Amino acid sequence: MPESVPQAVALPLAAGFLAHIGPAATWLPVVRRHLSPRLAGVGHPRHVALTFDDGPDPVSTPRFLDALDGLGARATFFVLGDAVVRHPGVVRETVRRGHEVAVHGWSHDRPWLPTPARDVRALRRAVEAVQDVTGAAPRWYRPPYGILTSGRWAAARAAGLRPVLWTAWGRDWTATASPASVRGTVEAGLGGGGTVLLHDTDRTAAPGSWRATLGALPDLVADWRAAGWTVGPLADHGTADRHATAPRVLGRAGAVPRRPPEQGRSRHG
């Protein structure tokens, strides 16, 4: 077979793959912060958006709802459609307690191959599941792993959802995560106006890793409030506006010093 034949096939395939996966470069913090602050979840500089991914989980999510009640804080929960249909009561309780429910997709898959029609169907199915259980249309979409392919962008537009990723995360899915490590990782790069990504379940993480996140929550919320920031869901974050005010960053010059982590607290505490 002439060399030009496979090359003629390979070049269009490569171009198609790049068109599919290229937008996923927004997974890189430096890309989205500079090119798309709204996608990064940059909102009002005196507010922090608290978000959780991968639920609902009948074991762990209620623990987070109780903790947030005790802290007087509300959050946005990005849920998976296949878990919503299995645990609708957890979703209803999330809404009853004043939290916002958003869409994380139907399942927690990696979109390496272009499947635009499937992307549209799956996201529409997830939106319908959330709407059937909560009685309200969801507003936000965060894809699994933060990978926004061209197909997922198109699916989000078709479903009337607004994609949003994050400005800081806690690396709380690892087996070595602890309340102190989650707190330190979040605050290393978080400023007012940021969106925080955490997880209320270990569905796609190390078993029991959610306990580290739960243990970190009280100190995180206390630190943010000490810095003069309010804490709440994306609905209260003002991400539709662009703010020129430079946010303070915890742990950096000019920030409110954070309290030292409590000693002796295990990641299962």
Assess whether 99 carries a catalytic annotation.
Answer: no
How many residues in total does the chain contain? 269
Assess whether 34 carries a catalytic annotation.
Answer: no
- CB half-sphere exposure, 103, CA atoms < 13 A: 29
245 neighbors 45 (Cβ within 8 angstroms): yes
- The answer to whether residue 241 scores a pLDDT higher than 90 is no
From 47, 53, 172, 223, the catalytic residue: 53
- The answer to whether residue 141 scores a pLDDT higher than 70 is yes
From 57, 199, 200, 237, the catalytic residue: 199
- Looking at residue 256, its pLDDT comes to 36
Domain boundaries, the chain: 36-236
Percent residues over pLDDT 70 in the chain: 74
Name which residue leads in pLDDT, 259 or 250.
250
To which residue do tokens 């009002």 refer?
Answer: 44
Identity at 140, one-letter amino acid code: W
- Looking at residue 37, its pLDDT comes to 78
pLDDT tens profile 161-171: 999 999 999 99
Q: What is the pTM of this model?
A: 0.80
- The answer to whether residue 252 scores a pLDDT higher than 70 is no
**What mean pLDDT comes out for the span 4-29?**
44
Name which residue leads in pLDDT, 193 or 8.
193
d(CA 230, CA 153): 30
- Looking at residue 114, its pLDDT comes to 57
Q: Which residues contact 189 (CB under 8 A, 6 or more apart)?
A: 29, 167, 168, 249
d(CA 207, CA 80): 18
36-236 CATH pick, 3.20.20.370, 3.40.50.150, 1.10.510.10, 3.50.50.60: 3.20.20.370
